Chains A and B, each alone.
Chain A
């Protein structure tokens, strides 16, 4: 670079901004906007490293007089003389001060106002547990036909009648006829009456291979991409809900553990309410477990040993000790109804015992 040596030993060219130790940030520097020193240009053009194989565009016609890059000058502190340097004349202390204080405002964490409802619990109304929202748009609030009953009455229904597809499994889809649309409508509404095996059209004993095959077959028929070019949004919505149920069925049936549980669910008494796979969530399972522990030993680690020994005392009919332990336990956990009740019982027993022993003493 010829221009490079030109400047050697001279004070920095006027156009070059200086980086002073205080200004750690490039943006704060004065920028060269005019005075395009043509000799400097080569510095910014590609260093002689082999250009990547990508075709390089000819310079766009419109870049015009671009402001030249400022070749920064890095200035050491004023005491700078020669190689044996004082501390470390780096531009700024190596601490990277972010230009802006990142105003970190994590979203306000409001407590969730909702409490998830405990899931399975056989519903009192045997309405389909989950009605796809689309249905509500067109039906009366409660769909009159009340789909499930016939299926629900005979619990271990071996397999629902295989669905007949209103749509050809192969070939181009030009249009959907009114008849097909009505059939799709009916199928979409009837989904909640079908179990997953019926949705995929496989037997309860189907092998994983058969399930996959059935899913591929249904995908070829009902995949929404097949109908993407259609304009009728109602047909598309129906097809969408049908296909979503197909993927849901496949998701459950392809997993051995889930499939086993599902099969047990739909073979049981409340089949109608379990046609869609429900799974107690992690937190619900945990809450359940905690509840049982709470009821047995209290939910405070400090009170638990007292309650435990109190129970042992009650077993041994050692009422006085049981009372002490219960009282100690309740100081840590005043709200435990179960042990409060137990304390009353124990105190009653203790009174009785005292009365008995007192009377006995008197008699003697």
Chain B
């Protein structure tokens, strides 16, 4: 059977898998006909793992052992704000691992974030294998365009752990544009507005027939549909507090019910303009009276609640257009991606901002995985018909003295690209040099994301300033950073060690691959555990 590679949209709240079948990109449904699958992993009592929409129901019933929104934590350090916030609101247990990494505890076992995502990928892989009737080992996995190197690397590791050869880490807006422009022979400038569950990205692309050139990208990895839910949730909790003097947010089980109700209310208010919220028996007061939560939210009220979030997305959109040196009038088409873009308030605001209707007929939940499938197909194909030229979303920097950084590669530089910089030793007889690599827009190190500390050794030993080392920084097609160093005079390549990194070591990954193979997926009893 012909080799096949799937495209996977690994989302914060929902994931989706597609493949090119008979030349047509197709979304692959699971056994029950579902096209999108909650990125939710529930560890069951018997040691098996439930993934997908069924697992989402366990957020309330099996809260401590059900992990969701793991994408918000992947590739982050334990001391980051996002992780701190998650430790207070998530019902599952988030602990610190080695090297400031984040680990999740469930049923007495500790999991790294790539391992959690790998379980979602394993489920998607199983869905694809069942549907296609053949083993699937190759995939293109998408990430938000604004993901940094740590997050991309962690996603790539997740793919490996799940037994997938990740052909490419693709940016979500780029994938969406590919799905939109593939085979249409168009010359257009398009803007992709991608509001997902946990992240917001916007990319401006120029499509010149078969070349998809990303002109600029901008984003916010802390803004997504979840924040809309939070607004409704807080409003509900405040109201309940005022009425009953009980704060539902203090209890994680109440909180989960609130969260679920808020998400439904958001969807319903978007569909019908008004939503009734009802959480019967959400809690008991001291006398044992069971209290229900009954509320109603109107579109008007909802819009007022989230207006500032919506405005925030257009600040980012401004930035992307500015970087592309364009105005809204230069944009030929607008593509909406992500579930929250179904909300009328988003649609209307986008229409108002761009002065044109967003493209119809593209399912905002599936377009990314379709694009990923097209790219996966193109990579295996001998007669590739599309060429993606993406950009790096963040400037690459190195640490200098005094907590400052210096820019090496600008943001929005086309990738793959490499740049070299000369360094010299600062002490006599120095036999190794260390550099810290950062990503971010600030010249202060503490405002940037640390990618790692590289140590170079094995070069000539000489007086200070005498030995010059060329350090080459490369950003590859996946947006992943590689660093190499060579002695300028002899051309001798030096050995490199990464002494600080949030990532997993090779042995960790091997262990995780084995563990992942042992895992039984609860929904797919008939599938062999390991292929």
Contacts and interface: CB of A to CB of B under 8 A. Distances in A.
Interface of A: 1, 3-5, 7-13, 16, 19, 24-27, 42-44, 47-64, 66-76, 80, 85, 88-92, 94, 96, 98-100, 102-107, 109-117, 119, 129-133, 135-137, 139, 141-142, 171-174, 212, 216, 219-220, 223-226, 228-229, 240, 243-244, 247-248, 250-251, 281-283
Nearest to B62: A66
B211 interface: yes
Contacts of B34: 54-55, 57
Contacts of B250: 19, 24, 26, 74, 90-92
Contacts of B427: 113
B284 A74 contact: yes
21 contacts: A1-B290, A8-B288, A10-B288, A13-B288, A47-B277, A49-B265, A60-B50, A72-B254, A75-B285, A76-B285, A89-B246, A92-B250, A94-B247, A115-B401, A131-B470, A220-B387, A224-B416, A228-B384, A244-B416, A282-B407, A283-B400
B383 A67 contact: no
Interface of B: 32-36, 44-46, 48, 50, 52-54, 57-58, 60-64, 78-79, 84, 87-88, 91, 93, 95-96, 100, 167, 208, 210-211, 213, 241, 245-247, 250-254, 257, 261, 263-265, 267-268, 271-272, 275-281, 283-290, 292, 378-384, 386-389, 398-404, 406-407, 413-427, 430, 433-436, 443, 445-446, 450, 453, 468, 470, 472, 474, 477, 484, 486, 490-493, 500, 522-523, 525
Contacts of A282: 406-407, 443
A47 B293 CA distance: 10
A43 B281 contact: yes
Contact of A281 (B406, B470, B493): B406
Contacts of B399: 112
B416 A27 contact: no
Contact of B435 (A19, A112, A212): A112
**Secondary structure of the A side of the interface?**
loop
A159 B264 CA distance: 64
A174 B382 CA distance: 6
B493 A136 contact: yes
B135 to A, nearest CB: 18
B53 A56 contact: yes
Contact of A1 (B46, B64, B281, B401): B281
- Which 10 A-B pairs have CB atoms at the shortest separation, nearest pair first? A172-B383, A26-B252, A73-B284, A91-B250, A117-B422, A130-B420, A60-B54, A247-B414, A223-B387, A228-B379
A106 B292 CA distance: 45
Nearest to B88: A98
Contact of A225 (B384, B403, B472): B384
Contacts of A90: 241, 245-247, 250
A119 B421 CA distance: 8
Contacts of A137: 493
Contacts of A174: 382
